[in-house]
Amino acid sequence: MSAKILIVEDNQSMSRILQINLEHAGYKVKVAADGPTGLKLYETMKPDLVMLDVALPYMSGLEVCQRIREESNVPILMMSAHAITEEEIAAGLDIGADEYMVKPLGDIELAARIKALLRRASAEANEGKPLITYKDDYLSVDLNTRRVYINNKECRLTPTEFNLLVLFIQNSGEVLSFQQILEQVWGPEYKSEHHYPRIYVSHLRRKVEPDFKNPTYIHNEYGVGYRFVPKTNANRR
């Protein structure tokens, strides 16, 4: 079945071009011109991916993202009219965005990013990998149900954050290079985004570590990558 994409963009000419191009690529697309309308369409459409302009009338794209993230892990791609700083990416990740792109959006790059986001959100992203359950007295991760618990309370992760955590657990004790992480979590479309692992690991730590400033699980291997260290009382199967 064709994936459903919701575009929330107040520039009508841009949203129309995006809609035409995405429909030509085989996606089912709906468009909203402001935040409240976008939220209503989201509820009725239940899209597989949401594209959000940062600056929207009546309600900012970040607020729309936050509202959607309260009830769903749907991939969310934020669009900005100006160059994006790491601080802006961090702010977006804090409220649940999966990706940022600067307008105007290049057709080839956008198509690749959309495919990568949909792939990461799908359970098929883990096809061929052993299904695992990791559990200790603080952290519990179940790949079958795609749920994470911290101190027995569910912790909501974005699809990218979840796949990143699963990659670490599946390779417990091994050092994963930045390039390995990019290729296995984001895909070949992101081979030049060398800052992504550092930014996303920082936010993952804030969600799953007892003390993100002194990590228990995700350790830095400076200049190389990261290594997941399970607790000694952990159960994995």
Q: What is the CATH number of the domain that holds 232?
A: 1.10.10.10
Alpha-carbon distance of 98 to 107, in angstroms, equals 19
CA–CA distances in Å: residue 148 to residues 81, 101, 113, 124, 197: 35, 28, 26, 19, 20
The answer on 131 and 107 residing in a single domain is no
Q: Are 196 and 186 in contact (CB under 8 A)?
A: yes
Q: What is the pLDDT at residue 140?
A: 93
The answer on 112 and 20 residing in a single domain is yes
Of the candidates 139, 142, 160, the one whose C-alpha atom is nearest the C-alpha of residue 69 is: 160
The answer on 103 and 12 residing in a single domain is yes
Of the candidates 217, 88, 193, the one whose C-alpha atom is nearest the C-alpha of residue 181 is: 193
Strand duo 28-32 + 99-102: pairing:
unpaired
The answer on 117 and 15 residing in a single domain is yes
Alpha-carbon distance of 109 to 101, in angstroms, equals 9
Alpha-carbon distance of 60 to 64, in angstroms, equals 6
CA–CA distances in Å: residue 168 to residues 8, 26, 69, 161, 204: 34, 34, 24, 11, 11
CATH of the domain at 108: 3.40.50.2300
Model confidence pTM above 0.85? no
The answer on 57 and 39 residing in a single domain is yes
Given 121, 155, 179, the domain boundary residue is: 121
Q: What is the pLDDT at residue 72?
A: 86
Instruction: Specify the residue for token string 């200049």.
Output: 223
The answer on 137 and 92 residing in a single domain is no
The answer on 155 and 53 residing in a single domain is no
The answer on 150 and 103 residing in a single domain is no
The answer on 89 and 143 residing in a single domain is no
The answer on 30 and 12 residing in a single domain is yes
The answer on 101 and 50 residing in a single domain is yes
Q: What is the pLDDT at residue 123?
A: 53
Q: What's the angle, vertex CA 205, arms to CA 202 and CA 209, rounded to 5?
A: 160
Q: Which domain holds residue 52?
A: 4-121
The answer on 11 and 117 residing in a single domain is yes
Q: How many domains does the chain have?
A: 2
List of the chain residues with pLDDT < 50: 124-126
Q: What is the pLDDT at residue 88?
A: 74
- Region of residue 173 (left: phi > 0; alpha: psi -120 to 50; beta: else): left
Q: Are 185 and 164 in contact (CB under 8 A)?
A: yes
